[in-house]
């Protein structure tokens, strides 16, 4: 019972911690990932001025409708340079108030009285050594001119070169941290693209079902566009989080199975100890089925008691960790809380309970069969 108790408690605690990490990671990603992204199925850009997009922009279920123009460019700061993604966004992008939660330096400001500003990812800052408090050095951005074939005598004539001050630094994850977010007007001037955009990012008002809204868009938008929700935008991340959790569940379940199957040894010893009692019950009229049920019930009672106690203790442990944060992680991170995060899902409790129930029944059934194997010989001996 103690073995099952420890295994069940450990399993529910580990699964709850994984749920906590999943919520923290997805919360960070969802800060920068919109509910829905519309992008062209072929090519890099499209015209957002169609009648459908103009009507969609006025939809009352939409909280923010941001136009985005993005392209890779060469970034230079002082004597260092690197390639990064320039992401030009319309003012509606800043309606996302949670952007401040991922800002680790400076402020998430794209425009002020002095003009345009850039907010860069931590990977760009680390490589270029950008100082957000230095008003004299600005970030230089190089992008090839449209139609340029590099045939001019001066290589500088083949590039658009613009400078922009850096107002802040954000940090989410490596894939996002190599991005420089700038105003849409700056990106249009840099990329020589006065009309078209790369994508539309839509955030919905609270309570609106993103899946249903996505399907509505797909029904009307046609086959030239691709519509993605958050899971499709971060498919690899969701797959990794899911596979890691299932891998841990399988490993801990094997340990739990070993603890459960110890019941076979315990019940076998009990059967040997109760041979005379079994014979007496049989002589009094108890059938083989009843005797098997007695040992099956005892095996189930032992394991399920351990399982239920383990679930209760695991729940209380996670509840205390969630409220007081007794166990800390080794290093502090501005984007991740220092205490191990915990989140409950009732499906995890049901999963652990069913896992223990199934394997307990199998182990107890195997053991109970031993109790009636030699019952005829016992009666004769008695």
In percent, how much of the chain has pLDDT > 70? 92
Mean pLDDT for the stretch of residues 207-229: 90
- Mean pLDDT of the region 262-290: 78
Query: For 173-242, what is the HEC assignment?
Result: CCCCCCEEEEEHHHHHHHHCCCCCECEEEEEECCCCCHHHHHHHHHHHHCCCEEEEEHHHHCHHHHHHHH
pTM beyond 0.85, yes or no: no
Q: What is the mean pLDDT of residues 236-244?
A: 80
What mean pLDDT is reported for the chain? 85
- Whether pLDDT at 148 is above 60: yes
pLDDT of residue 28: 77
- pLDDT at position 128 is 93
d(CA 346, CA 249): 15
| Residue-level pLDDT at 155 | 61
Section 11-23 average pLDDT: 88
Q: What contacts 24+ positions apart, CB below 8 Å, involve 84-87?
A: 84/120, 84/121, 84/124, 84/178, 84/179, 84/180, 85/178, 85/179, 85/180, 86/141, 86/143, 86/180, 86/182, 86/187, 86/190, 86/191, 87/179, 87/180, 87/181, 87/182, 87/187
pLDDT at 150: 57
| pLDDT for 178 beyond 80 | yes
The answer on pLDDT for 376 being more than 70 is no
pLDDT score for 262: 80
Percent of the chain with pLDDT over 90: 40
Residue with tokens 């409220």: 323
Q: Is the pLDDT of residue 381 over 90?
A: no
Band of residue 334 on the pLDDT scale cut at 50, 70, 90? very low
């Amino acid at each position: 019972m103690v073995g099952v108790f420890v295994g069940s408690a450990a399993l529910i605690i580990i699964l709850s911690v994984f749920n906590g990490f999943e919520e923290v990671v997805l919360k960070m990603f969802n800060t920068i990932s919109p509910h829905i992204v519309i992008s062209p199925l072929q090519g890099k850009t499209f015209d957002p001025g169609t009648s459908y997009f103009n009507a969609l922009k006025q939809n009352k279920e939409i909280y923010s409708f941001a136009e985005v123009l993005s392209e890779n460019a060469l970034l230079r700061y002082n004597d260092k340079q690197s390639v990064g993604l320039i992401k030009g966004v319309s003012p509606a992008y800043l309606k996302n108030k949670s952007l401040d939660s991922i800002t680790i330096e400076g402020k998430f400001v794209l425009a002020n009285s002095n003009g345009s500003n850039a907010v860069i990812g931590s990977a760009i800052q680390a490589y270029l050594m950008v100082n957000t408090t230095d008003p004299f050095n600005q970030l230089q951005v190089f992008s090839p001119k449209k139609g340029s074939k590099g045939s001019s005598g001066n290589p500088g004539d083949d590039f658009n070169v613009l400078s922009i001050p850096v107002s802040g630094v954000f940090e989410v994850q490596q894939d996002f941290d190599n991005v420089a977010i700038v105003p849409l007007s700056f990106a249009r001037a840099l990329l020589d693209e006065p009309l078209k955009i790369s994508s539309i990012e839509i955030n919905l008002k609270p309570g609106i079902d993103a899946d249903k809204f996505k399907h509505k868009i797909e029904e009307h938008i046609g086959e030239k566009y691709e519509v993605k929700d958050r899971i499709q935008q971060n498919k690899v991340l969701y797959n990794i989080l899911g596979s890691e959790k299932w891998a841990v569940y399988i490993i801990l379940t094997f340990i739990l199975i070993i603890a459960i199957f110890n019941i076979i040894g315990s019940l076998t010893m009990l059967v040997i100890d109760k041979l005379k009692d079994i014979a007496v019950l049989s002589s009094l009229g108890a059938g083989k089925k009843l005797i098997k049920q007695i040992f099956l019930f005892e095996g189930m009672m032992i394991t399920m008691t351990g399982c239920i106690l383990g679930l209760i203790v695991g729940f209380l442990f996670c509840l205390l960790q969630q409220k007081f944060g007794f166990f800390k992680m080794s290093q502090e991170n501005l984007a991740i809380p220092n205490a191990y995060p915990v989140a409950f899902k009732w499906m995890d409790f049901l999963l652990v309970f069913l896992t223990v129930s199934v394997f307990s029944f199998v182990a107890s059934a195997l053991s109970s069969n031993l109790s009636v194997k030699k019952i005829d010989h016992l009666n004769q001996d008695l």
